[in-house]
Amino acid sequence: MARGDNNQVVYVDGDIPQLPLQLGQLLVDSSQVSPGTTNLQQCTSQSPLVYEPVQGGYPINPAETAAGVVIYNDLYPPGWLERYHDPADGSDYTNAANAALSVNQPVYIGDNTYDCNNLVQTHDLQRIYGVGKARLRKNANGTLIASSGDDVEFNGVALRGGDSGPDFTGDGIVMTGINGRLINCGSRYMTGRAVKMTGNHAQIIGTCDIYQTSDATAAGYDIEIGQAGVLTLYHTIIDIYTSSANGGILTTDTGSTKIIGSLFGKLTVANGTGPAGVNGGNHIGNRILGAVTVGVSNSVFAGNTFGAVAITFSGGTGGHTFDSSNFLQSGATLTDSSTLSVVENRTLVPYQTYTSTWTAASVNPAIGDGAITSYYSAKGREITVFIQMVAGASTTFGTGAWFFSLPAIPNTSLPCIGSAQVFDSGTNFRTGISKTLTDGTARIQAIIDADTAAVDSGRPMAWASGDVLIISCTYFTN
């Protein structure tokens, strides 16, 4: 290598640069490449870099010789698709792309749309770089790229299943090796998964396009990470965008996954066979537009914004953290069937109405023209309840101790004590306690004036129209 006139970089025969450009800043314009020139011009902010090959073209290198590839256009340096493209293939770059991927060296995809299908990547530590608007577009059914190498990185490459919609069936890219990386990539117009990664430490960071499946069914996902029955760990998804609420992200039997700062549809944290070490992962600062189902224990949600969707922590799981930094759009619902979790349901703050049912030990009372008002609020496993019964002229008071139903079953090991008040119309106020039951039912009762039994039709007085009972209590669920 030497410096020529005007400080140009000049390469001589056999002196081939391995990576002579900053890929994120350059645009290769193949129309400017002509035979017989000898310069590799410097790139300025005003003019794009142009590869101008050494006299006679770039010779085959040892890696290409080892792979047994055929060079059709030696005006392009090693690794560029055009170097391996047989003119007889016309616009189909399948053979050229597979040839480039078969060589154990970096692959460069230029500023163009290349029609291809069923590409295979196998080398460990291979890098596939996109320069400019580098696109690989399906021209047949099947997975566009199947990558099995470890530590493989795609950078700046956009995958397409068609021009304006999916023209062919199948997945976008499937990576089965460990430490697979998609950096500033995208994959859209796919009928299957836009991305599927099954090895350890999958990374999807940034985007040059959205990740999108056209599958709008409940089983459709833009991105799938992990596989049932195999524990995979330390996955990272950061600053990506998917298509709609119908797509989204599916993780299966994963552990310590991080999904941060991204916009996507539904989220399913699935329990395949639940091998030791799986957990629900961390989900921070995302905009989530689809339903959320967490079927694995020990997940963390913080600083997320949810649409009007259903959020469910499944039974049989526990140890979740869903704090008040999460924002739930009006219409969102949160169902927590887990145990030992701290799930703060902001849709229930400061309070939510519910219907408390009034029963008795022997013969149930009937409210008639009276009224029962009941509210509750929930903060994780902590529930605060307020119940007021106002007797009317047609109210009947039943036989036996009274019970009022609660919005959730109290912890059977932690009976909780609250307050109770009775207004004996025309006479006075009476005070006492309320107490949750520990028999596995969602019920509470009141005891007034240090009595030895719960309030009933004759305690603490003979009930009549205008009398009032108020119960309030904070208790814990299982």
CA distance 48 to 352: 62
CA distance 339 to 408: 13
Judging by beta carbons within 10 Å of its beta carbon (0-12, 13-18, 19+), is residue 18 exposed, middle or buried?
Answer: exposed
Q: How many CA atoms lie within 13 A of 451 on its CB side?
A: 20
**Quick one: tokens of 414?**
């932690």
Contacts of residue 369, Cβ cutoff 8 Å, sequence gap at least 6: 392, 393, 394, 395
CA distance 448 to 282: 48
pLDDT at 443: 96
Domains of the chain: 352-476 (2.60.40)
In the chain, the amino acid numbered 466 is: G
Q: List per-block mean pLDDT (blocks of 10 residues) for the chain, which spans 478 residues.
A: 37 39 37 37 35 68 97 97 97 98 98 98 98 97 98 98 96 98 98 98 96 96 97 97 90 98 97 95 97 97 95 95 92 90 74 93 97 89 93 97 96 90 88 93 93 92 95 92
CA distance 303 to 355: 32
Torsion over CA: 205, 143, 147, 216 (sign): positive
Q: What angle do CA 18, 20, 21 make, to 5 degrees?
A: 135
pLDDT at 415: 85
Q: Which of 277, 232, 275 is nearest to 251 (CA)?
A: 232
In the chain, the amino acid numbered 79 is: G
**Quick one: tokens of 394?**
């047609």
pLDDT at 53: 43
| Spatial contact of 402 and 456, defined as CB atoms under 8 Å apart | yes
Cis peptide before 407 (omega within 30 of 0): no
- Residue that has been written with the tokens 């976008």 in this structure: 172
In the chain, the amino acid numbered 251 is: T
pLDDT at 348: 62
| Residue 158 Cα to chain centre, angstroms | 21
Judging by beta carbons within 10 Å of its beta carbon (0-12, 13-18, 19+), is residue 147 exposed, middle or buried?
Answer: buried
Strands 158-160 and 232-233: unpaired
Strands 382-390 and 371-379: antiparallel
| Spatial contact of 221 and 213, defined as CB atoms under 8 Å apart | yes
348 SS3 class:
helix
pLDDT at 350: 61
Q: Which of 96, 94, 92 is nearest to 83 (CA)?
A: 96
Q: Determine which helix (DSSP H) or strand (DSSP E) holds 352, and give its type and residue range.
A: strand 352-353
CA distance 91 to 101: 18
Put simply, whether the predicted model's pTM sits higher than 0.85 gets the answer no
pLDDT at 275: 94
Beta bridge partners of 158: 135, 186
347 SS3 class:
helix
CA distance 313 to 315: 7
pLDDT at 2: 36
**Quick one: tokens of 104?**
């154990």
SS (H, E, C) 210-257: EEEECCCCCCCCCEEEEECCECEECCEEECCEECCCCCEEEEECEECC
pLDDT at 419: 96
pLDDT at 140: 98
Q: Count of H helices and E strands in the chain? A: 2, 42
- Residue that has been written with the tokens 């996507």 in this structure: 264
44 SS3 class:
coil
